[in-house]
Structure 1
Amino acid sequence: MSRSQYNRSSILTKREREVFGLLLQDKTTKDIAGELFISEKTVRNHISNAIQKLGVKGRSQAIVELLRMGELSL
């Protein structure tokens, strides 16, 4: 089954969606780490993992894709 044949939102973890929700609120990596009680490196790992899963090239593209999929809202 190709990536386009299933709902991509099901491959993101709850935490990855939380991190991107905070990015959408213009939070920095440091802010997100403090709010979620995790390290900045863990925040970056969540972002990197989600970008890879979504098949996009960066944070901005990931946010656009998550908005398009209905996983994030403005």
Structure 2
Amino acid sequence: MHSLLTKREKEIFTLLTKSQSTRQIADSLCISEKTVRNHISNVIQKLGVDSRIQAVLELIKMKEIDF
């Protein structure tokens, strides 16, 4: 089955479910905070939702990420 998310998007949203901040995610993945925000924005756009929280909830419902 093809995933809606890229590998990196999945990593970022999985870390979001663990209550990590943008800075913590950037540090743990060795990327910039801007890159993290860009990935989050891309997923929000893909899903047609308004916030990262809504995106997390949708991705859990769709079984794209675990909680």
What's the TM-score once normalised by structure 1's chain length? 0.84
The percentage of counterpart residues that share the same residue type is 58
CA RMSD of aligned residues (A): 1.5
The aligned residue for residue 37 of structure 1 is: 30
Q: What are structure 2's unaligned runs of at least 5 residues?
A: none
Residue identity matched to 2:14:
G
The aligned residue for residue 66 of structure 1 is: 59
Higher RCO (Cα < 8 Å, 6 or more apart):
2
Q: What are structure 1's unaligned runs of at least 5 residues?
A: 1-6
**How many residues in Structure 1 have an aligned counterpart in Structure 2?**
67
Q: Which has the higher helix share?
A: 1
Distance in 2 between residues matched to 1:12 and 1:64, nearest whole Å: 14
Q: How does 1:41-52 map to 2 (within 5 A)?
A: 41-52=34-45
